[in-house]
Amino acid sequence: MRIIASLVGVGLAASLGVGCTTRQGAYSDVPGPLVTNDQSVQVDDENINAVVVHIANGQFDESVYEQQTGNMRLVLRTEGGPYLFSIDDLVQPRELPESGSTVVQYSTSAPGRHTMHAALSTPTDATATEATATLDVRPVGGR
């Protein structure tokens, strides 16, 4: 009787497809931004502009970044940190990881130039320096 019950159990498991499965594809249905060679990225579904900023070994990869007024997503990619990051009048100081990506969202309605700051948050010596870059906010359609 046990043999019959075991065979029925194995047959039932096989017919129901019990076992390991492999999932392929993305784990989320949330669309990612369309990335181009330009430092500015348009995220269409949310009508949010994004700027990608790289900070490596205590330096910004560009001296000037441009954005338009409105809702903004700043993608900060870091190496060699951790860093303390801020943007004058727009983003309060915040910690960035030693290596990785951080997304900061904010909104600005007025054109202008703002200084971005990045400094090692755990300096190894008393002469640690701060890197700066400029964020140039322009009106929509403006140059």
CATH of the domain at 73: 2.60.40.420
pLDDT in tens, 119-139: 988 766 655 679 999 999 999
Q: Strands 70-79, 83-87: parallel, antiparallel or unpaired by DSSP? A: unpaired
* 20 pLDDT above the threshold of 50: no
Domain total of the chain: 1
Residue 4 has pLDDT above 70, yes or no: no
The reply to whether 24 falls in a domain is no
Give the residue numbers spanning the domain of 126: 36-138
**Phi/psi of residue 3, each to 5°?**
-60, -45
Residue 122 lies in a domain: yes
pLDDT, tens only, 26-57: 333 433 333 333 444 444 455 677 899 999 99
Q: Which amino acid is at 119?
A: A
18 lies in a domain? no
* In a domain? residue 81: yes
Q: pLDDT digits over 78-120, tens only? A: 999 899 999 999 999 999 999 999 999 999 889 999 999 999 8
* 100 occurs within a structural domain: yes
- Residues 6 or more apart in contact with residue 67 via CB below 8 angstroms: 40, 49, 51, 108, 135, 136, 137, 138
**pTM to 2 decimals?**
0.64
